[in-house]
Amino acid sequence: METVAMPELASALRLSVMRLSRRMRQERSSSLSPTQIAALATLERHGPMTLGEIAAHERVQPPSMTRVITYLADAGLAVRSAHPTDGRQVIAEITAAGHALLESERRRRDEWLAERLTHLSDDDIAALRRAAPILENLAGS
């Protein structure tokens, strides 16, 4: 592909990914904020962590993560416990209710997207199958 076409492709991808992301967020059923959902998902993916570690994963300031985890703990979606060797730190861990909420959210959004995919052609589905790992690679870089 020509280098001059890269800015146009980047712009088109940015716009379409942002629109799809916004639409997927609209399919959420919980009242949690995107930051709260992301923190809960980080705990699910990585296990118990300090608030500073969660903040680093989510690229937010530790005081913000303290508020997020406090909310999640008050809602019964996470638990806070003392750090085993550093009394100044707190460890957060997802609860069974937190796992259930994330599963429900994912299922709802997957169902919405799966229904939309049924309206696409076989060629479009094949293109999306090829694009999914490429988009994942872009997101991870």
The per-residue pLDDT for 131 is 93
**What is the radius of gyration, based on Cα positions, of the chain?**
19
For 51-101, how does the pLDDT look when each residue is reduced to its tens digit (9 = 90+)? 999 999 999 998 999 999 999 999 999 999 998 888 788 999 999 999 999
The per-residue pLDDT for 119 is 97
In a domain, 23, yes or no: no
Residue 62 to residues 41, 66, 74, 82: CA-CA distances in angstroms?
A: 17, 6, 18, 16
Q: How far apart are CA 95 and CA 113, in angstroms?
A: 27
Look up residue 53 and give its two tokens. 């570690």
- Please, what is the end-to-end C-alpha distance for the chain in angstroms? 20
For 10-54, how does the pLDDT look when each residue is reduced to its tens digit (9 = 90+)? 999 999 999 998 898 888 877 899 899 999 999 999 999 999 999
pLDDT over 70 at 141, yes or no: no
In a domain, 8, yes or no: no
In a domain, 7, yes or no: no
Residue 59, Ramachandran bin (φ over 0: left; ψ between -120 and 50: alpha; else beta): left
Look up residue 48 and give its two tokens. 């118990």
Looking at per-residue pLDDT, the higher value among 29 and 3 belongs to: 29
In a domain, 94, yes or no: yes
Look up residue 106 and give its two tokens. 């994912």
Look up residue 49 and give its two tokens. 């962590």
In a domain, 55, yes or no: yes
Look up residue 105 and give its two tokens. 């959210």
Q: What is the mean pLDDT of residues 107-118?
A: 94
The enclosing H or E element of 55 equals helix 51-58
**pLDDT tier at 2 (50, 70, 90 boundaries)?**
low
Q: What is the mean pLDDT of residues 89-117?
A: 95
Count of structural domains within the chain: 1
* Mean pLDDT across the chain: 91
pLDDT over 60 at 4, yes or no: no
The domain that holds 134 is classified in CATH as 1.10.10.10
In a domain, 10, yes or no: no
In a domain, 84, yes or no: yes
In a domain, 6, yes or no: no
Look up residue 23 and give its amino acid. R
- Residues spanned by the domain of 65: 28-140
